Amino acid sequence: MYPVRYPASDEWATGVDGVRDAGAHVVSRATNCPNTKMVLGGYSQGAAVMGFVTSPTIPDGVDPATVPKPLQPDVADHVAAVVLFGTPNVRAMSFLNQPPLTIGPEYLPKTLQLCVPEDPVCSDGMNFAAHNSYADDGSIVSQGADFAASHLATTGVPVSVVAPQHGFGS
């Protein structure tokens, strides 16, 4: 497990620090541990960060000098699954004055985006409390874990699950 190092906050512009850190870590693991298969995951702003990490291009309107370059396509071979909870949709990203997310074609078949009903960040809903309910809904967390485990199992790499000592999001 690797905690992406960036100041996750209401200041969405700091997300680029997360994209930079996560992307560098993924490349480092792919290079230094070529037999390792990774699962990328995130919730809300963290889901956006991972979405941008997997993006095949720099979003329109973003100065390429201010953001990391997209990962090389072969890096995707080292990623078994991508699980995103409450991924900000176009409406949410527009409200935040951020570009929309595009999951890269190398990652899309192994990506699961989970959104609880009425979550205004990832659906057309307007129940803001829904966006904070992911930690309370064990079934949605289990769905993500099952997806990741099933994709890891197809890689032929032994899978072991280690449960964190703290709750989701802590």
Determine whether 131 is an active site residue. yes
Catalytic: which of 44, 55, 123, 151? 44
Cβ atoms of 82 and 39 closer than 8 Å? yes
Determine whether 44 is an active site residue. yes
Structure tokens at 21: 């850190």
Residues β-bridged to residue 83 = 41, 112
Residues β-bridged to residue 79 = 38
Catalytic: which of 21, 78, 119, 123? 119
- Residue 47, Cβ neighbours under 10 Å: how many? 25
Cβ atoms of 93 and 150 closer than 8 Å? no
Catalytic: which of 21, 123, 131, 151? 131
Question: ∠ at Cα 128 (123, 134), nearest 5°?
Answer: 75
Question: What is d(CA 161, CA 14) in angstroms, rounded to the nearest whole number?
Answer: 31
**Catalytic (active-site) positions:** 44, 119, 131
